[in-house]
Amino acid sequence: MKEPTIIEHEAVILDWHDGDTCKVRIKRNLPFLNVPNTDLGFRDYIENGQMYSNMHIRLWGLNTPELRVEKSVNEKGIDSKEYVSSLCPVGTKIRIITLKNPEKFGRWLGIIFFVNSGGLEVCLNELILKNGYAIPYLQGNLKFW
């Protein structure tokens, strides 16, 4: 069986859907010099001569509580979302490791790293688990990580 392709990206947090899913703006390593700002469709666009993609990322290796359970607000889900939003608010620059292809819901499974207030790069996935905002969850055959 062929090993999946792992890719590293520079990105910025655009939004948090819940405690384990976010929307990011990924910088592609494809410069487009002398090309006007253009929406290329399929989440891709060129801005100031650089190509970007907006993508939904599902944090790999964990599962946070849902925001709603049976039409009622789930406080644990809200707490989890607030926790990740406080560590990596909208606009935070991140480094993300993903697989080449998305999972069945169109999201990319990823591991997010960011620079904390002490200037150290830390793993968001690890912090969420360590501080009790998620439980470990390994989807499908992703045992290689």
CB atoms within 10 A of CB 133: 22
| Element at 62 (helix H, strand E) | strand 62-63
Per-residue pLDDT tens digits for 45-80: 777 777 788 889 999 999 998 888 778 888 898 999
User: Locate tokens 């080449």: which residue?
Assistant: 100
Spatial neighbors of 24 by CB under 8 A, at least 6 apart, are 11, 12, 13, 14, 54, 55, 56, 57, 94, 96
* pTM: predicted TM-score of the whole model, two decimal places: 0.81
Topology annotation, domain 6-132: OB fold (Dihydrolipoamide Acetyltransferase, E2P) (2.40.50)
Residue 42 has pLDDT above 90, yes or no: no
Per-residue pLDDT tens digits for 78-99: 999 999 999 999 999 999 998 7
Residue 40 has pLDDT above 70, yes or no: no
Cβ–Cβ under 8 Å, residues 114 and 94: yes
Average confidence (pLDDT) over 97-104: 80
What are the sequence ranges of the domains in the chain? Answer: 6-132
